[in-house]
Amino acid sequence: MKPTKSFLFFFSAILALSSCNNKINSQSAAKNSLKNAYKGDFYIGTALDINQIEEKNPKVTNLISKEFNSITPENIMKSMFLQPEENKFDFDVSDKYVAFGQKHKMFIHGHTLVWHSQLAPWMSKIKDSASMAKMLTNHITTVVKKYKGKIDSWDVVNEALNEDGSLRKSVFLKTYGKDFITHAFKTAAEIDSKVELYYNDYNLCNAKKRQGAVELVKNLQKNGVKIDGVGEQGHWHLDTPTLEEIEQTILDFSTLGVKVSFSELDISVLPSPYGLQGAEISQRFENNEKMNPYPKSLPDSMQVKLAQRYNDIFKLFLKHKDKISRVTFWGVNDTQSWLNDFPIKGRTDYPLLFDTNLQPKKAYESVISLKAKK
């Protein structure tokens, strides 16, 4: 029987509708969660505070497990919490952190073994190199051994560089000398040869500081010391750093044969006092209305700007997905963000993908949309 024109039109309409439905379903699948959308590209992580680790709010826990496949402890694994007194370790909360990651089948990152800030007070009182070396060995050995086979990667040394790329005059540099970095990485690798070891810092998109980090990596490699990656924290703004600077950072480190992670990503929408960049937590400024323009909510026009900024950045990340291991947001939602108190205490910032009510923002949609099939 020869099909009529009306039948052919009807059949074509059905096929078109089916194709449209398949497209919608494909897009819906991509929008299911961040971790599913970027599966096969790089891990999508978030930093957890103690309340989230202890699962105090089921809604927050559900959001974390749905959207993310990698976690970082915001504070609880820093030395002032893990070893508050000499040889007296407290692993109570860090055990819960690791258990959380295991329960939700996540990539578990450790942060951080050696850092001059949030340092156990007794450590800062060490005055001779032999005692400092002994302390570093004991702390790193104890912590890494405790979580061997459970933690997948470590920030071994955090923020050891000045803005000009020189070594920061920390208690470690003053007491031990410049080789404290080599000592730390070597010790961690000897205890767990399989765990990934990272150097982590902010403002590595600035050429001078990045060159200092490049030399740091080269020095470790020259001495046969294991280093697997570099973390650029990514405490950025709407207009800085430029995409070109971010891309050059990826290229410069990947050329060394190490992985690149964006380890503490957030984008401030607030004015930066005196052109302050990055995350030097010792710098704080006074609050005023001009510096806190959105105390109650973020205007739609700014939501759009934030969304576009995230879209541009993630488009670049996808371009270099073969070089990037993790992209971790520094917090689950805006309420949690440290930027509400830094660099000016008491402001209201909106740097993350989820708002204070745990709802996805335009920025979330802009990141997800890059993975929706056209």
Q: What's the start-to-end Cα distance of the chain, in Å?
A: 38
| Active-site option among 264, 280, 289, 365 | 264
Which residue ranges of the chain lie beneath pLDDT 50? Answer: 1-2, 7-11, 13-26, 29, 281-282, 374
Whether residue 280 lies in the annotated active site: no
- What's the pTM? 0.90
**Torsion region of 107: left, alpha or beta (phi above 0 gives left; psi -120 to 50 gives alpha):** beta
Beta-sheet pairing, 196-201 with 153-158 = parallel
What is the chain's alpha carbon radius of gyration, rounded to the nearest angstrom? 23
Tell me the C-alpha distance between 251 and 67, whole Å. 28
pLDDT of residue 8: 47
pLDDT of residue 29: 42
pLDDT of residue 22: 46
pLDDT of residue 286: 62
pLDDT tens by residue, 264-308: 999 999 998 866 555 554 455 566 788 999 999 999 999 999 999
pLDDT of residue 274: 60
In degrees and rounded to multiples of 5, residue 247 shows phi and psi of -65, -40
SS3 238: coil
Instruction: List the chain domain ranges.
Output: 37-369
- Assess contact for 294 and 359: CB atoms under 8 A: no
Superfamily, domain 37-369: Glycosidases (3.20.20.80)
pLDDT of residue 32: 87
